[in-house]
Amino acid sequence: MKGIKTFSINEGVRLHIIKAENKGNELCVFYRTQAKRENAALMAVLCKCLKCSSEKYPSASSLELFSQRCSITDWDIYTVKKGNEQILCFSVFFNRSGDVEKAFRFLKEVIFYPDAEKYRFLNDQTARFMAKTDILGLCDNFKAYGKVRFAEEMARGGNFGIRETGFYDDVEKASSKAVYNLYSHMVRSAPCEIYYYGAADEDIVRETAEESFAFARYNIEDIEADKVMLAQKRKAVKEKRNISESILYAGFAPKADLGSENIFPLMAVNEIFGGSSGVLYERVREQNGLCYYVTGNAYAFKQVLSAEAAIKKEDMKKTAEAIKSAFEELKDSRVIHEKAENAQKAVSASLDGICDDSDLFIDFCLNALIMGMDFTVEEFKEKLEKTTEKEIMLCAQNLELNTFFFIEGVKQHGGKGEKQQCLRG
């Protein structure tokens, strides 16, 4: 990406330096892997293993004390899904740019000296318990759970629908050896992106990164390019939960892949459809009063558009019809002409200040890298603002209804079986 200096520091390892004066410091390491259902639970357990302890620091508390001695103000290890990729993420925050070497020292200890011996993690039981607790937490947060289940139903087994947390039974079965083997393979073979955001001396950052990652790597894997999730046979799925509120999700997938730069008209379409003054809000809430809230979202990697509405369960059919009607309005050139300019301005304004937030900016850069888009934020905004009404119309016409997913709230019934379903999928 232009405006960022990128260096190759080892086989399959790249360092990206983002100069930012007086705005804090963040250092991130991302190991990129192909998303696979069988690895989701292993990744979830792996994150917990790495956070619990390391070879020299045998407890979470001692690891935390070590982070403080390295001048780290906050740190985390987690996994995220981005398109076809599941990424293992290490992030540390620190105040003074002069502490960048200490930050690398901390990450080196955590990444390369895990609490393991004889090809297995020693803290896997604790890690597995923590991973299962996260899954229970997801099941109890019905809005977060609904988004995950909606993605699963849209994808029907595809990479788009893999859970970052894994499933309960899979986590239970995740052996220490399998978790270790996956991690060992990733450290040696997965493409690795290192991002530094701050004001430290560029030469020091580069030299420290090269020293920290100076070890043999082999058979660097190629990550399969992201595939657009093309529209398939329409489906409607209903699931009952022991909650009082009901939520309806609708997903719209493209009929054809219009290319990576379709992201610009897609963002405009999403704002016209599901923004604060979008067609969805006007038709479903203001005119028909069918929901407590309604919003739209765009999954850029898959070119998917979605709608989410919290409703009374008896209004499910009416709301579904209203959403379909609102979506059809997107294909009317008069609606596009009326709303396109304000939608583009709203999306562009949402990117203001992104460069001043290390987390948001690094995430923007990583997304752009994965999508193969070599744009600065300013260039991204410029292309968005120059997107034509014709391009927005073509994007809207290329989308078609793919999935309805309804979570029906049935609080009076209770639901042990429902809990088992959401745990095990």
Tell me: the pLDDT tens digits for 118-128?
Answer: 899 999 999 99
CA–CA separation, 213 and 31 (whole Å): 13
Query: Does residue 142 have a pLDDT over 50?
Result: yes
Structural domains in the chain, CATH included, are: 5-212 (3.30.830.10), 235-415 (3.30.830.10)
Closest CA to 368 of 186, 151, 111, 195: 195
The residue ranges of DSSP E strands in 95-199, in sequence order, are 116-117, 120-121, 192-198
pTM: 0.92
Q: What is the pLDDT of residue 93?
A: 98
> Positive or negative CA dihedral for 120, 121, 122, 126?
negative
**Best mean pLDDT range from 33-37, 208-212, 240-244, 378-382:** 208-212
Average pLDDT, the chain: 91
- CA atoms within a 13 Å half-sphere pointing along the CA-CB vector of 24: 14
Helices (H), 311-415: 316-329, 333-350, 358-371, 377-385, 389-398
Query: Does residue 23 have a pLDDT over 60?
Result: yes
Instruction: Give Rg (Cα) of the chain.
Output: 23
> Positive or negative CA dihedral for 207, 208, 209, 214?
positive
CA 310 from chain centre, in angstroms, equals 23
Q: What is the pLDDT of residue 405?
A: 95
CA 182 from chain centre, in angstroms, equals 21
Q: What angle do CA 169, 171, 173 make, to 5 degrees?
A: 70
CA–CA separation, 249 and 236 (whole Å): 10
> Which pairs count as long-range contacts for 351-356, CB under 8 Å and 24+ apart, including other chains?
351/377, 351/380, 351/381, 355/20, 356/20, 356/23
Q: What is the β-pairing status of strands 13-19 and 192-198? A: parallel
Q: What is the pLDDT of residue 2?
A: 54
Amino acid of residue 223: I
